[in-house]
Amino acid sequence: MIIADRAELQGTARDASGEGWTSLRLLVRSDGMGFSMTETQVLPGAVLRLQYKHHIEACYCIGGAGEVVELASGKVHPISAGVLYAPDAHDRHEVRVPSGGDALHLICVFSPALEGNEVHGPDGSYPMG
């Protein structure tokens, strides 16, 4: 049985952050589940250009509001509580959160699992684990 208490994970190697985002890694590769789960916040005013070349991801919004832009087509998808997005084909995308509002609060699942302390590289991806 795995029990992950966010209060105990904060401030550890599983509490990752970068410009415009924070991500608490609730499940990681060493937990042996085959996927990882994060509690992620995209901060107000952030524009994150991402492409997970080595992972697939699903993100479920539990608070805040923003948008995801498919960079190949320019299609814009509003994201708010209750909406899931999943760049299932390693899609290049941007996550945007307007300034002056609340952070976009997401629960994200990655496959394969993250090590736990990754940050985005210059191309917007995490390294292959």
Tell me the pLDDT tens digit for each residue of 29-73: 999 999 999 999 999 999 999 988 888 999 999 999 999 999 999
Helices (H), strands (E): how many in the chain? 1, 10
Q: What is the reported pLDDT for 17? A: 93
E strands, 19-128, are 21-27, 36-42, 47-50, 56-63, 65-70, 76-80, 84-85, 93-96, 104-111
Q: For a pLDDT cut of 70, what percent of the chain falls above it?
A: 89
pLDDT bucket at 120, cuts 50 / 70 / 90: low
pTM (predicted TM-score) = 0.89
Residues 2-6, mean pLDDT to the nearest whole number: 95
Average pLDDT (20-35) is 96
Q: Looking at residue 80, what is its pLDDT?
A: 98
pLDDT of residue 76: 98
Q: Which CATH number fits domain 6-111: 3.30.56.10, 1.20.140.160, 2.60.120.10, 3.40.50.720?
A: 2.60.120.10
**pLDDT higher at 123 or 111:** 111
Instruction: Please state the rounded mean pLDDT for residues 110-119.
Output: 80
d(CA 41, CA 43): 6
